[in-house]
Structure 1
Amino acid sequence: MVDQYLRTSDPAVYAVGDAVEFGQNQDISTGGSFLESADKQGYVAASNIAGLRQQYKGAQATSLIRVLNLAVGTVGWTEKTAKQVQLSYDKVYVRVLSHAEYYPGSIPIDIKVLFERETGLILGAQLIGVDGVDKWLAIFSMAVQQRMLAKDFAALELGYTPPFSSEPNSAHSVGCIIDDLVKKRIYQYHWEQVPDLLQKNHVFVDVRMPAEYISGHIDGAVNVPLDTLRARLNEFNKDVPLYLYCQDGHRSYLAARILMGHGFSVRYLSGGYRLYAAAALHLFSFFGCSGYQ
């Protein structure tokens, strides 16, 4: 165990590298080999040995690996570690593109972002995709290190050109969604909550197109495509909460804003049906019930 100056219990002995441990407030890392952190620790320890007072500010456990053809990245707090120390957090699932959608070869990147529930402080992110994961990991690493709030993340000015990056508003959209949740401008629910919601007979509204609905949907959901929503407001009861979903969360977010503007109580599914369906087989076999068709 070392302090912020990388001193051990013996003030004449310093330690760096994978073997040292910090309090959670100093270092998010809970294991693994992080070469950059060891290099930084060595610099800080050497500076202090030489009489140059310097503190080690901790690491945010940034890591990037290749799994077959996929790149997987993580930075900051994971949901597991956040639960262990009882952080007050929430999460959003978003999908961005490796570069502009209209430019050939665009590939999606799936991102899970953890944030502090009360303030919107960016706590961590996990990412998976084929291309561009390293760029987004660097962006979130900076956000965690600089203790950015969602509103600050939304204001980031990032380089953009169609062949190499997604549309300029991707980071802006992520920050705005989190800021909306923190300020209670909108409400969400998550895929793991669906079994309990189904057992309580809540109303699910699928705002995708009919062909998407037919290909698979949450059990008992009503199909009301987003384009027809305003014309069908009279089909809903304002006294009954509505649980919206679409394929990836974007359309249901828009639908939620429309319905909230008309006085309805609504939540949208973060990550959409795509994420829910990917988890549904395991989830419902665990709970011993059905939940999707």
Structure 2
Amino acid sequence: MGKKVLIVGGVAGGASAAARLRRLDEEAEIIIFERGEHISYANCGLPYYVSGVINERDALLVSKPEAMRSRFLIDVRIFSEVTRIFPEEKAVEVQESNGKVYRESYDHLILSPGAAPLRPPIPGIDDIEALVVRNVTDIDRIKRYVDEQQPQTAAVVGGGFIGLEMAENLHARGVSTTIIEMSNQVMAPLDFEMAAILHEHIFNKGVNLILEDGVKSFVKKDNTTIITLQSGEEIEADLVIMAIGVKPEIKLAKEAGLTIGDLGGIKVNERLQTSDPNIYAVGDVIEVKHIVTGQAALLPLAGPANKQGRIVADVIAGRDSQYKGTQGTAIAKVFDLVAAATGANEKMLTKLGIPFEVAINHSNSHAGYYPGATRISIKLIFDRSNGRILGAQAVGAQGVDKRIDDIAGVIRHQGTVYDLQELELAYAPPFSSAKDPANMIGYVAENIINGDVRMIQWHELTKLKAQDLCIIDVRDEEERRAKFIPGSLHIPINDLRSRLAELPKDKDIVVYCEIGLRGYLAYRILTQHGFTRVKNLSGGWVTYYPAVFG
């Protein structure tokens, strides 16, 4: 008789564990309990079904219960909720949707219940239909509402991944959409100046983006909802989507006496065992080790969840497999732009007191002389003492995915900016440049480490008084005519050597251009002509403008 393995939750980690375990052990008895109707569905694709980008509903269902049964001989029990765990007896209590309750014993138990959308106790929230996006049933409800009621207006509360994707897809259906975000930026994994690029783009797309304002109350009025914000502003919406984040579903584990971490997720070891060695946990419900900071983290991502499911299956099958941690690599489409991040961001490192340096570069997505090249902005965060890469963010219309993945691979192996320079990446004009943007950001970082340039970040410059420094704009006349930093002196880069006498040697000098390259050239010219108090504005005007004036 083989091992008996029960799995609570049949999405992502749970389904991956079941399929992998069957491949390793033909004799094991494997039972999946799913309280909903669907297993192994494409959570991340749900918003795109609303707009019709994903046309077929069945495309969202990666694997159906009958397929798991026939191909893998797995007993899939839908509409079956595990309501209690009895660790001493190695058994669980199951309640079916028809009310039937029974017990099932196990040799090994895998918890993969995921995380539930947050529903804060905002006055009036129980009086309105505030929809969430978690599963296929949720998205069916939203799509049915949009198809049948044809709402004119919608409010999405929350500017994270799901919130932005829902706003985009509602907008694509012709629904006038407002995004309400309590923070000063969308997409928390990004630092502010990178998110600011998205803010400008969202506004330009005709979506109303409200930042630094939360919901105070909801009031139902006929077929619409009046949303009163903390500022007193009122928004009227036919449809309300709540997308303010998720919370690990730890109720089962907590009641069973399993150890819960400080962040509110189930605590597990490298083999993904809980405090009870016969009970494992995977996916959004667990606390993971962040591979950059070494700290516990909650990182609800599909890729890590699937990897964790595979590792648990290996361990149960007797293989020595370990989960080494998560780095938080994530990506999202935001209308015509793509935003991605990996590793630690500046906010996280500052909070933990970990020293870092920042390099920002704006490159073409492929060779500029080949048609269709667009700008890709990359921010690299690294340790100046040894060059180790701590994190990266990228925003652009194309090529963001492969650059963030290049850098993610280097971070995973504790690589440095020098490793990034040395990556030999595929090049042809339609795809990249001979010096790929991923290589280029490595070169920029090396210049900072070597002292070839001293940088000043946009937020540092905003704190300085104009009378205490000299700001030099080295762009061309046409570029400056559009917009410039108030109080800056205009000296185009080609004229700089002939106008050195105009510059003070007793003041700090900040040079800037459009994206940072000519600023770097200006820095090298000035420092080699006896100016010792010079800094280059990181990322140039392209970073400064949306962050300060956006």
* TM-score, L = length of structure 1: 0.89
Per the alignment, residue 114 of structure 1 pairs with 381
CA distance in 2, matches of 1:71, 1:84: 27
Are the equivalent residues in 2 in contact too, given 1:64–1:134 (CA < 8 A)? Answer: yes
Per the alignment, residue 22 of structure 2 pairs with none
CA distance in 2, matches of 1:48, 1:278: 49
Mapped pair 1:137 → 2:404? yes
CA distance in 2, matches of 1:66, 1:29: 28
Per the alignment, residue 545 of structure 2 pairs with 277
Per the alignment, residue 472 of structure 2 pairs with 205
Q: As a proportion of its length, which structure holds more strand?
A: 2
CA distance in 1, matches of 2:355, 2:489: 33
Measure how far apart 1:163 and its partner are.
0.9
Q: 1:24 to 1:106 in 2, by over 3 A?
A: closer
Measure how far apart 1:29 and its partner are.
8.4
Amino acid at match of 1:281: F
Q: Which moved more, 1:176-185 or 1:164-173?
A: 164-173
Amino acid at match of 1:14: Y
Mapped pair 1:2 → 2:268? yes
Per the alignment, residue 485 of structure 2 pairs with 218
Per the alignment, residue 250 of structure 1 pairs with 517
Unaligned runs of 5+ in 1: 283-293
Mapped pair 1:11 → 2:277? yes
Per the alignment, residue 286 of structure 2 pairs with 20
Measure how far apart 1:90 and its partner are.
2.0
The list of structure 1 runs, each at least 4 consecutive aligned residues, that deviate by more than 6 angstroms after superposition, is: 26-29
Are the equivalent residues in 2 in contact too, given 1:29–1:59 (CA < 8 A)? Answer: no
Q: 1:92 to 1:29 in 2, by over 3 A?
A: farther
Are the equivalent residues in 1 in contact too, given 2:468–2:507 (CA < 8 A)? Answer: no
The secondary structure found in structure 2 opposite 1:203 is strand
Measure how far apart 1:273 and its partner are.
1.3
Q: Which moved more, 1:23-32 or 1:54-63?
A: 23-32
Per the alignment, residue 127 of structure 1 pairs with 394
Measure how far apart 1:19 and its partner are.
0.6
Q: Which moved more, 1:183-192 or 1:243-252?
A: 183-192
CA distance in 2, matches of 1:163, 1:25: 34
1:177-222 per-residue CA deviation (whole Å, 9 max, x = no partner) reads 1112123221000111223223552111111112322322212211
CA distance in 2, matches of 1:152, 1:273: 29
Q: Which of 104, 110, 114 does residue 371 from structure 2 map onto?
A: 104
Per the alignment, residue 46 of structure 1 pairs with 313
Per the alignment, residue 352 of structure 2 pairs with 85
| Aligned-residue CA RMSD (Å) | 2.0
Per the alignment, residue 285 of structure 1 pairs with none
Measure how far apart 1:269 and its partner are.
0.4
| Percent identity of paired positions between Structure 1 and Structure 2 | 36
- Equivalences for 1:122-271 in 2 at 5 Å? 122-199=389-466, 201-265=468-532, 266-271=534-539
The secondary structure found in structure 1 opposite 2:510 is strand
Amino acid at match of 1:276: Y
Are the equivalent residues in 2 in contact too, given 1:100–1:106 (CA < 8 A)? Answer: yes
Per the alignment, residue 288 of structure 1 pairs with none
Report how many residues are paired. 282
Amino acid at match of 1:5: R
CA distance in 2, matches of 1:174, 1:28: 27
1:229-251 per-residue CA deviation (whole Å, 9 max, x = no partner) reads 12222322334321100011110
Which has the higher Rg, Structure 1 or Structure 2? 2
Are the equivalent residues in 2 in contact too, given 1:96–1:110 (CA < 8 A)? Answer: yes
Are the equivalent residues in 2 in contact too, given 1:28–1:61 (CA < 8 A)? Answer: no
Q: Which moved more, 1:223-232 or 1:31-40?
A: 31-40
1:29-64 per-residue CA deviation (whole Å, 9 max, x = no partner) reads 844532221121122222222332222111211111
CA distance in 2, matches of 1:29, 1:204: 43
Measure how far apart 1:11 and its partner are.
2.4
Are the equivalent residues in 1 in contact too, given 2:511–2:537 (CA < 8 A)? Answer: yes
Are the equivalent residues in 2 in contact too, given 1:29–1:60 (CA < 8 A)? Answer: no
Measure how far apart 1:157 and its partner are.
0.9
Q: 1:127 to 1:178 in 2, by over 3 A?
A: same
